[in-house]
Amino acid sequence: MDTQRSTAVSALLDISDDDMRTALPETECDDAGSLPSVAAEDGSGALWLPGLENVSAQDPGDVWLHDALLGPHSTDIVGYLGMARTTGGPVLDLGSGAGRLAVPFARHGFAVAAVDRDRHSLRRLRQWARRIGPRTDRLVTTVPADLAGLRLEGRYQLVVLAGAMITAVPPRARPALLREIASRLGTGGALALDYPSHALTGLKERPRRTFAFRVPRFDGVTETVVARQVFDPAGMRERITYRCRCSTRHDVHLRTLTTRKWLIDSEQLAHDIRRAGMHITDRRPHRIDSVTEHVLLICRADA
């Protein structure tokens, strides 16, 4: 992913302060810290659409937004832990971020290797593991590396590509990554990955979506965000621009984050999985709206 920022105060998605007040919902996040309802440009009123979760935290100022965007995925931790209990460890968490999955794996006794290219996120992961205790800390290994061109060591019983991280891998690099994963799966091991699957005809009809939400923060800062999602079905690309407004009693800070990702062709992904020496044993779709569903795939190495 290509994440860029701008601290220019002159523009916020070309939206004025009055427009921001119109776009941003007045409702606060619920007690669990989940995102409030957000409305798409077509008025569908979708609660959440996958694709907004892959902003890498590059500095401490991005942490709150990064964690809020991952909030809708929080319930998948129980499912992944259940898989780990079935397959056993060790576990490989690819695109681990700040340890949303890796630390719970270790806390439940699984040795886990956490791979992410963002060193700031890996430092947060390590700090979290240490706060829990020496046993959890010892079970976590952090690996700073990009998923494209990744070379692994050891064998793993469960490999996880969660939070739609597969969309951050260029299509040309995806077959090699899947082959590397397949070569490192132990007997009875599994790869679990999830991704948003879009109907391309629907994206052509509605290539832009805009969301507004408030980020739950507990440090005296009010952070509101307008996120604009732009799809390029012909190029199989997606761009999301976040215009963030952080307000305190005495100051207002504006910044821009842009994430560029790849759209997933489900048939091509299945082909790449087969060519890598694996087969799909379970496909679990969850319908988001008329255009998008979120898909979880469970894959195992061929005999």
Give the model confidence (pLDDT) of 178-236 as tens digits.
999 999 999 999 999 999 999 999 889 989 988 888 888 888 899 999 999 999 999 99
User: In the predicted model, what is the mean pLDDT of residues 46-50?
Assistant: 49
pTM > 0.85: yes or no: no
Q: What is the pLDDT of residue 88?
A: 92
User: In the predicted model, what is the mean pLDDT of residues 79-88?
Assistant: 92
User: In the predicted model, what is the mean pLDDT of residues 256-274?
Assistant: 93
Closest CA to 183 of 154, 225, 160: 154
Q: Rounded to whole angstroms, how far apart are CA atoms 70 and 57?
A: 12
Q: Residue 134: pLDDT band by 50, 70, 90 thresholds?
A: very high
The dihedrals phi and psi of 275, each to the nearest 5 degrees, come to -65, -25
Mean pLDDT of the chain: 81
Q: What is the pLDDT of residue 54?
A: 67
Q: What is the pLDDT of residue 72?
A: 64
User: Does residue 249 surpass a pLDDT of 80?
Assistant: yes
Q: What is the pLDDT of residue 212?
A: 87
Q: What is the pLDDT of residue 56?
A: 60
Q: Rounded to whole angstroms, how far apart are CA atoms 298 and 265?
A: 17
User: Does residue 104 surpass a pLDDT of 70?
Assistant: yes
- Please, what is the angle between helix 266-275 and helix 174-183, to 10°? 40
Which amino acid, one-letter code, is at 180? E
Decide: helix, strand or coil at residue 63.
helix
Closest CA to 192 of 286, 89, 282: 282
Which residues, in sequence order, are CB contacts of 92 under 8 Å at separation 6+?
112, 113, 115, 152, 156, 158, 159, 160, 181, 184
Q: Rounded to whole angstroms, how far apart are CA atoms 53 and 93?
A: 16
Closest CA to 224 of 68, 120, 70, 97: 68
What DSSP element (H or E) covers 174? helix 174-183
Q: What is the pLDDT of residue 58?
A: 61
Pairing state of beta strands 185-198 and 4-6?
Answer: unpaired
Q: Which long-range contacts (CB under 8 A, 24 or more apart) does 66-73 make?
A: 66/97, 66/98, 66/121, 67/98, 68/33, 68/35, 68/213, 68/215, 68/216, 70/97, 70/100, 70/163, 71/33, 71/34, 71/35, 72/34, 72/35, 72/48, 73/100, 73/162, 73/163
The dihedrals phi and psi of 258, each to the nearest 5 degrees, come to -125, 130
CA angle 85, 91, 93 (to 5 degrees): 125
